[in-house]
Structure 1
C-alpha cells in the first residue's frame, strides 16, 4: 500500500514552511550582513565567515536525513529544525546588537547562532523535501517544486521589504524585535503548514506493506547510498552545477559597477531584474507541460537543457564584459534569471524523482547527501568566484577581461554539468526501477 498523494492545498501548505525558512535565512545572511559591515563598520570577512559556518554545518544533512528515515516520520524533524533555525535567527540578531558594545562577545555568540541556523536549515529542509517528494504525484512534481520555491522567494521579498521598513531608524533593540517577529511568524507558518498532513496520509502501521526500516548505523547507511551509482553521480552533478551558480553570485554586482559604471542603486535593481527572471523561469517549466503535453519529456532533457541554457546566459555575460556599455546588460541578466529558474525546477524535480529510486526507504540519507553537496558548493563557490576574479585581474590587462574570463569559466562548468547529467541518467541500478521511473515521470508536469 503506497502513501496517498498530497492535494494542491497540501503542497501549498508545505510551501508555507519554505516561506518561513526563507524569511529567517534572508534576514540573517543579508540584513545582518549589511548591519555588521555598514552600521557597525566590521570587516566584510566577518559576515562572510559566519555564512560559511552556516553552510559548513549542513554537511550533516545526511545524518539528519538518516534520523528521519529511522523514525519513519518527517514532521518532527521539520518542526524541530525550524525551531532551531528560529532560535538561531533571533540569537544572531542579539549577537549583532551585542557587537555594538562588546564586539568579541558578540562575535562569539554569532558563531553559535550561525551554527544553529545551519543545523536548523539542514534538518528542516532535508525532511521537507523528502516529504514533498514521497507524497507528490508524478504529474505534479514540477508544479510542486515551482510552488514551493516561488513561496520561498516570496519569503525573501516580503521579509526584506518589511524588515527594511521596520528597521528605520536603525537601533540594536529594533533589530532584535524585527528578528524575533520574523522567527515567531516562521514558526507559525511551519505549524500551520505541517499540522495533520503526515498523519492523514501516512500508511497505517498495521499495514502488511508497511515494512519498518532495518536499524543500522549512519555510517553504514551513508556507505550504502554512496555505493549506488545514481545517488553518487547525482551528488557530484549537484556539486558541480551549484559551484558554477554560486561562483557568479558575488561578482555580478561588482562587475556591473566596474565595467558598466552602475551606481549601487542600479546594481541593486539589477539583482531585482534577475530575481524577476528567476520567478518567470520557474513558472515556465510547468506551464510548458500544461500548454504543450509533449513537453512532458524525461528528466534528462530538462536537466541538460537547463544547464546548457545557463551556460549560454553566462556566455552572454562574458561577451558583455568585452563589449562594454553598448551591450544590453539588463536583458542578459534577466535571461540569466530565467535560465536559473528553469534549471532550479528541473534539478528539484530530479531530486524528487530520484530520491526514492533505490526503493529501500533511505530517502532521507539520499536527500541529505545531495543537500550537503549543494551546501558545500555554495560555501566555497562564492569564495572561489571572487578569488578567480582577483587572480584574473592580476594576470589580465583589464578588469573587463578578468570578468569575462571568470564568466566564461563558469559557463564551461555548466557545460560539464550538462555532460554529467547524461552520466547520471545512464547510471546502472540494482533493481532496474530507476530507468522505468525516469521514462514515465513528467518533470514538466501540469
Structure 2
C-alpha cells in the first residue's frame, strides 16, 4: 500500500535544512566560539601574565560562566514557547543571545583592564561580565541547536553535527589568530578596539547567517506536528526526568563530557614535565591532537550519516567506538607517563584526538535525534537540559584534571605516576560512558516518541 503523494508545499517543508542552511547555523556557532575565545584565552593570559593574578581567578571566572549555563533548560523552554507561535522566533533568541555575549565580552575586556588600577571594581565587573557570557552562550547556543535538531532530517544529523562543531572550532582558531595579529603591538586601547570590532563583526555575521533561515526548517521532531503550545517549564522538566531514555542520556552526557574535558588543562604540562618539550613543541603537539579531532569529526560526519539514515540507533556504534578509542589513547598516555621518551607521543595524541572527534560528533548527532522524542516537550528545553549537563561537566572535568594532577604529584612524589593515575581515571570514565551509551543511544531510546515521518525514514 503506497502512502498518499505529498503536495509540493509539504515536500518542501519536510525536506528540512539543506547543506547551505546547516553551514549558516555553523556560522552562528563559529561566532559564539570566537566571542568566548576572547574571554577564555586572551583575557585569561592578561590576568595571569600582565596583571600577575593567581591563575585561579580567571579559571574561577571561566568555571562560573559554565555554572550560569545551568539556566539552559529555562532559555530553551522560552525558545520553544516562542517557536510554537511560528515566525522567526528561534532566530530572535539566537541573535539576542549572541548580542548579549558580544556586549559581555566588551564588558569583560574593560573589567580586565581595570584590574590593574581598581581591583575591587574590576573584579566585580568581571563577575557580571562572565555571568552575561554564560547567559549569551546558553540562550543563543541552545536555540541554534534546537533549530538544527528540529529542521534537519534524521539521515543528515551526524553530518550536521560535524559541520557545526567543525565550524565552531574553526571560529575559535581563526579569531584567535586574527586577534593575536591585531593586538601587535599590545596596548589597552588597541585591545578595546579589537574587542569592539570582534563583537560587531560576530553580531553582524549572526544576523546575516540567520536571515530568513527559519523558513527553511523541515518538519522533524516536534516541528512535524501541530501539538500547539509547549507545556510550562515545570511540566516539561518533569516529563524529561520521568523518561528513562532522557535520564540515561543526561547521565551519559555528563560522564562522557567529564572524561572529554579532563585532559584540557594537563596535556601540555604533561608534555613539558615528562617529555621535556618546549612551549612551542607542546603547542605543536596540541595541534596534532586537534588534527586528530578534526579527522574524527569528518569521518563520523560522513560515515555516521550513512548509518543514521537507515537505523534509529545508527550512531550508537560510533559513540561507543569513539569512547573506547579515547580510552585506549588515554591508557597509552598513562604508559607514556612512566616510560617517557622515545614513546611516540605525537601519534598517541593524534589517536586520542581521533577518538575524541568520533565521540563528539556522534554524541551530538544522537542528541539531536532524541531532542524531538518527547510526547509534549520540545527541542529547546531538551537541548537545554543536555547543554546544561555538558557545561557543568566541562567545568568540573577541567578542574578535576588539573587539581587531580596537583594532588597526585604531592601525594606520590612522582610526576609520571601522578599523570598516569589521572589519565587512567579519565580512561575509566570513557569506558563507563561507552557502557552508558549502549542503552542511552539504543534503538528503543531513539525511537521513543519519534514522529511518524521519522519512523518511516527509519523503516
2:3 aligns with none
CA distance in 1, matches of 2:188, 2:455: 52
For residue 279 of structure 1, report the CA deviation from its aligned partner. Answer: 1.1
1:318/1:403 contact within 8 Å kept: yes
Structure 2 stretches of 5 or more lacking a match? 1-9, 84-88
Which of 299, 306, 331 is the matching residue for 1:315? 331
Which of 267, 271, 278 is the matching residue for 1:252? 267
1:62/1:368 contact within 8 Å kept: yes
Partner of 1:281, secondary structure, is helix
CA distance in 2, matches of 1:408, 1:416: 12
**Cα gap change, 1:347/1:195 in structure 2, threshold over 3 Å: closer, same or farther?**
same
Structure 1 stretches of 5 or more lacking a match? none
Partner of 1:326, secondary structure, is coil
CA distance in 2, matches of 1:197, 1:269: 38
State which drifts further: 292-301 or 51-60. 292-301
2:159/2:305 contact within 8 Å kept: no
Alignment pair present for 1:22 and 2:33: yes
For residue 397 of structure 1, report the CA deviation from its aligned partner. Answer: 4.2
Alignment pair present for 1:33 and 2:68: no
Alignment pair present for 1:50 and 2:61: yes
Which of 111, 130, 134 is the matching residue for 2:146? 130
Alignment pair present for 1:92 and 2:108: yes
Alignment pair present for 1:114 and 2:125: no
What is the correspondence of 1:200-279 to structure 2 with a 5 Å cutoff?
200-201=216-217, 210-216=226-232, 218-279=233-294
* CA deviation profile, 1:167-189 (whole Å, cap 9, x unmatched): 12111111111111111111111
* CA deviation profile, 1:358-410 (whole Å, cap 9, x unmatched): 24242111110000000111111111112211222233241101101110110
For residue 212 of structure 1, report the CA deviation from its aligned partner. Answer: 1.3
Which of 264, 274, 282 is the matching residue for 2:297? 282
What is the correspondence of 1:425-436 to structure 2 with a 5 Å cutoff?
425=441, 432-433=448-449
Which of 350, 353, 369 is the matching residue for 1:337? 353
**Cα gap change, 1:295/1:398 in structure 2, threshold over 3 Å: closer, same or farther?**
farther
**Cα gap change, 1:208/1:422 in structure 2, threshold over 3 Å: closer, same or farther?**
closer
State which drifts further: 243-252 or 58-67. 243-252
**Cα gap change, 1:369/1:258 in structure 2, threshold over 3 Å: closer, same or farther?**
same
1:12 aligns with 23
For residue 208 of structure 1, report the CA deviation from its aligned partner. Answer: 12
TM-score by length of 2: 0.90
Alignment pair present for 1:150 and 2:166: yes
2:414 aligns with 398
CA distance in 2, matches of 1:41, 1:388: 24
CA distance in 1, matches of 2:103, 2:430: 37
2:315/2:362 contact within 8 Å kept: yes
1:32/1:93 contact within 8 Å kept: yes
1:97/1:173 contact within 8 Å kept: no
Partner of 1:358, secondary structure, is coil
CA distance in 2, matches of 1:274, 1:143: 21
For residue 291 of structure 1, report the CA deviation from its aligned partner. Answer: 8.9
**Cα gap change, 1:440/1:303 in structure 2, threshold over 3 Å: closer, same or farther?**
farther
CA distance in 2, matches of 1:383, 1:360: 37
CA distance in 2, matches of 1:261, 1:208: 57
1:298/1:441 contact within 8 Å kept: no
Alignment pair present for 1:376 and 2:392: yes
**Cα gap change, 1:287/1:201 in structure 2, threshold over 3 Å: closer, same or farther?**
closer
2:341 aligns with 325
1:277/1:337 contact within 8 Å kept: yes
For residue 138 of structure 1, report the CA deviation from its aligned partner. Answer: 1.6
